[in-house]
Amino acid sequence: MALVDPLADLIAALQRLPGIGARSATRLAYHLLKTPREEVDSLCAALLSVKERVTYCSICSNITAVDPCAYCTAGDRDSRLICVVEQPENVAAIVKTRGFRGRYHVLMGAIAPLRGIGPDDLKLKGLIERVGAGGVEEVILATNPTVEGEATAHFLGERAAERKIQASRIAHGVPIGGELEYVDGGTLAHALAGRHSV
């Protein structure tokens, strides 16, 4: 005698989501059981709307509901600067800082030879076209500070050098608000090497 079938099915479906284990899935399922029908309907509508309405920008490959995306069409953004990131969520993170007023380019991945992902698997064509069209003065390589992200930044840096385009890499260092003793050795070494006079 198991759980009520539809509930067990829902728990199984929720458990497939990242960061949701058996306990959270069970709690969510019982919560949804008591949630008014209209709220569950609106959650489903939001889920399906994401699949139906979200597409990719034909210029920068970022996610968007209108093509080209708002960042590519914004008149107040500097087209001479392109910030290259791995994923759409990275764009959202940089936008939130309010510290960058240029354009974006989303690679939709990073070079990862061990997983068989090479440069041809990334959304590079659009970037090459944009740089080729002229007017781009600097490409900021904001891929993740991981092995894959560094490899990708290195690859793009070399391609930029061939085309005589300035490329820069975001700084590695100690995070603001952190304590030195909790910062890993690699980061601390980078922070020391990247020191600047005050």
Residues that bind a second copy (CB under 8 A): 1, 3-7, 9-10, 12-14, 16-20, 24, 26-33, 37, 39-44, 46-54, 63-65, 69-71, 74, 87-89, 92, 95
Shortest distance, position 6 Cβ to a second copy, whole Å: 4
Closer of 8 and 161 to a second copy (Cβ): 8
Nearer to a second copy, 64 or 167 (CB): 64
Residue 55 CB, nearest approach to a second copy (Å): 9
The nearer residue to a second copy, 41 or 137, going by C-beta atoms, is: 41
Q: How far is the CB of 24 from a second copy (least distance, A)?
A: 6
| Two tokens, residue 1 | 């005698």
Q: Write the secondary structure of the chain as one string of H (helix), E (strand) and C (coil).
A: CCCCHHHHHHHHHHHCCCCCCHHHHHHHHHHHHHCCHHHHHHHHHHHHHHHHHCEECCCCCCEECCCCCHHHHCCCCEEEEEEEECCHHHHHHHHHHCCCCEEEEECCCCCEHHHCECHHHCCCHHHHHHHHCCCCCEEEECCCCCHHHHHHHHHHHHHHHHCCCEEEECCCCCCCCCCHHHCCHHHHHHHHHCCCCC
Q: Which is nearer to a second copy, 51 or 196 (CB)?
A: 51
Nearer to a second copy, 24 or 79 (CB): 24
CB of 134 to a second copy, least distance (A): 25
Q: For strand 63-64 and strand 166-169, is the pairing parallel, antiparallel, or unpaired?
A: unpaired
Instruction: Report, in Å, the least distance between residue 47 CB and a second copy.
Output: 5
Name the residue nearer to a second copy (CB basis): 88 or 139: 88
Cβ 178 to a second copy, closest distance in Å? 18
